[in-house]
Structure 1
Amino acid sequence: MDYKNMTLEELKNDLISEAQKGHPFFLAGALYWLAMGIIGFWLEGQQLAMIYLIGTCSIFPLAILFGNIQKINILSKNPLGVLGGIIGGIQAFYLPIWVVVYMEHYEWLPMAIGVLGASHFLPYLWIYKSRAYLLFTISMALVSFIFGYVLIDQAFLSLPFILMGLYLLMVLVLIMETKDFKSKTSINIS
């Protein structure tokens, strides 16, 4: 693909088609939150918080796996795909914060993972031309704060399942948006 001669709009359209608005990342996130919720039935306290921390490392490889299974190129060489990768990589800088939260107030860790994780989704609103990313970012941050801090006794019980539901809803919305986008662009081409 000759990315150098493409307009910004063409780059966005190409990435939307190729990466399917990044929905494999939400499948991986849903699986992470489901696993954390289920593990919470057997573990508790700092042990469970440690699993939360370690488990975050599974999301990126799972997203690649889900993308490969669905034949979706989430590692696109499109310059906006590269930018998306850099934005996603920002989460690596959250790790020290999560470690400090774990060491000082492990019970806040689900909230911290939820709120900071939500923050990195915001730029995809522009990249993928999707308001769903804005609504998801706000919803995830609010739910994480409410069920992870205000109602702290729900941090390890309800929060993972609520976030799993939000992630799965986002998968459905992104799949529908991508199908709608492809049908509109195929009509414009014809």
Structure 2
Amino acid sequence: MDYKNMTLEELKKDLIIDAQKGHPFFLAGAIYWLAMGVLGFFLEGQQLALFYLVGTGSIFPLAILLGNMQKVNILSKNPLGVLGGIIGGIQAFYIPIWIVIYMKEYQLLPMAIGVLAGSHFFPYLWIYKSRAYLFFTVALALVSFIFGYIIIDQAFLLLPFLLTALYLLMVAALKMETKAFYDNTSINMQ
């Protein structure tokens, strides 16, 4: 692909088709949050929080695996895909914050992971021309804050299942947006 001679709009279209708006990341996130919710029935306290912390490292490789299984190129060489990777990599800077929270106030960890991980999705609303990314970023921050801080006794019980549902909703929304994009692109090409 000759990315150097493509316009910004062509780059966006190429990435939307290639990466299908990044939905495998949300599927991986849903699996992470579901696993954390199920673990909450067997573990508690700081031990459970440690699984939350260490488990975040599974999301990226799981997204790659799920993307490969669905033939979705989430590691696109498209310059906007590279930009998306850099934006996603910002989460590495959250790890020290999560570690400090784990050591000082571990019960706040689900909220911190939910809010910070969710906030990094905001720029994708521009990259993928997606209203779903806007809704999801705001919803994730609000739900994580309410059920991870205001109603803190629900942080390890209810929050992971609520976030699982939000992530699955996002997968469905992105698939619908991608399908609508394909349909609209097909109509415009005729």
Match of 2:65 in 1: 65
Q: Give runs of aligned pairs for residues 1-190 of structure 1, distance below 5 A.
A: 1-190=1-190
3-state secondary structure, aligned to 2:71: coil
1:70, 1:179 → 2: CA distance?
Answer: 15
TM-score calculated relative to the size of structure 2: 1.00
User: RMSD between aligned alpha carbons?
Assistant: 0.4
Q: Which residue identity does 2:147 align to in structure 1?
A: F
Q: Count matched residues.
A: 190
1:101-145 CA deviation, whole Å, 9 max, x = no partner?
A: 000000000000000011100000000000110110000000000
3-state secondary structure, aligned to 2:75: coil
- How many percent identity over aligned positions? 77
Q: Which residue identity does 1:170 align to in structure 2?
A: M
TM-score calculated relative to the size of structure 1: 1.00
Unaligned stretches of 5+ in structure 1? none
1:183, 1:66 → 2: CA distance?
Answer: 24
